[in-house]
Each structure stands twice: as C-alpha cells, then as structure tokens.
Amino acid sequence: MRGVQDGGAQLSGLSLDQVRERIGDLERRKREQRAGPVRRPPVPDWTVETGIGADRPPLYVHVGGCRMASKRVRAVTRVIAA
C-alpha cells in the first residue's frame, strides 16, 4: 500500500490519532505563516552596523532594510544616525 506523501514524510502505517495530530500541526504551521507578515515588527528607518569585538564601534549607517548590512546591526533614530 502506498502512503500519502506530505513534505517528504510518509504517513503510511500511522494510527488515526497520529494522522490527525500531523494534520493539526500542518494547519497550525499554515496559520503561523499567514500571520507572520502581520506580526513582524516594522523595518526601522535607519540601522547602524557595528564592528567586531567587545567595544563594537559603529562602522556604517544603513537605511532600514538595506541588504548590504551585516548581522551586527541595531535600529537607531534619524538623530543618532546623523
């Protein structure tokens, strides 16, 4: 007997409770994915990229959402960015 495929996971040989649990997990995931953009915080107007190390001095100022910024950024106001 062939199993039902869902995201690469085989569902053959599972009990009805396990199938219902899997369906509930998938529905919950879909709801979370739809709610994600609504719950995501707004993009800051300006970010400051900091250096590496304990002191972490500011290196660059980026417009919020700039793809050139590294992972070491923090949101700042326009006054601080200037």
Average of per-residue pLDDT values in the chain: 80
Per-residue pLDDT of 19-29, as tens digits, reads 999 999 999 99
Other C-beta atoms closer than 10 Å to the C-beta of 75 total 15
Query: First CA to last CA across the chain, in angstroms?
Result: 67
pLDDT at 77: 80
Per-residue pLDDT of 34-78, as tens digits, reads 887 777 778 788 888 888 877 888 888 888 888 877 888 888 887
Q: Which has the closest alpha carbon to 66: 36, 39, 46?
A: 46
User: What does the radius of gyration of the chain's CA atoms come to, in whole angstroms?
Assistant: 22
Question: Per-residue pLDDT averaged across 3-8, rounded?
Answer: 53
